[in-house]
Amino acid sequence: MQFSLVLATFLCFSTWMSLVHTVSAHGPPSDCCLQWSRTKLHPKQIKNYTIQSEGVCPIKAVVFLTVRGKRVCSNPETPWVKKAILKVDREKKRAA
């Protein structure tokens, strides 16, 4: 019983260390937002969005996908960003 606990702990620790090493050696993944854009999008320009959480990526961000296929990283605490998220969610419900 004690051996299996030690083994499980070791496996978890080694997996965590390999992840930390990968991120620190190679930096964040290439699709991470490294900073927020100051670009304010009109709601009609927004096709979809995703939420980027901190962890592997350095900042929390809302990543808007525009109708022209561009990605814009935005501060999730900004009032216009919150309104844009609600609008996109409402439009998705209407389409469903």
Walk along the chain (96 residues) and give the pLDDT tens digit of each residue: 575 665 566 555 556 555 544 445 555 557 899 999 999 999 999 999 999 998 889 999 999 999 999 999 999 999 999 999 999 999 989 888
Q: Are residues 60 and 86 in the same domain?
A: yes
In tens, the pLDDT along 46-68 reads: 999 999 998 889 999 999 999 99
What domain count does the chain have? 2
CATH number for the domain spanning 91: value is 2.40.50.40
Shared domain for 45 and 90, answered yes or no, is: yes
Q: Token pair for residue 26? A: 């190679």
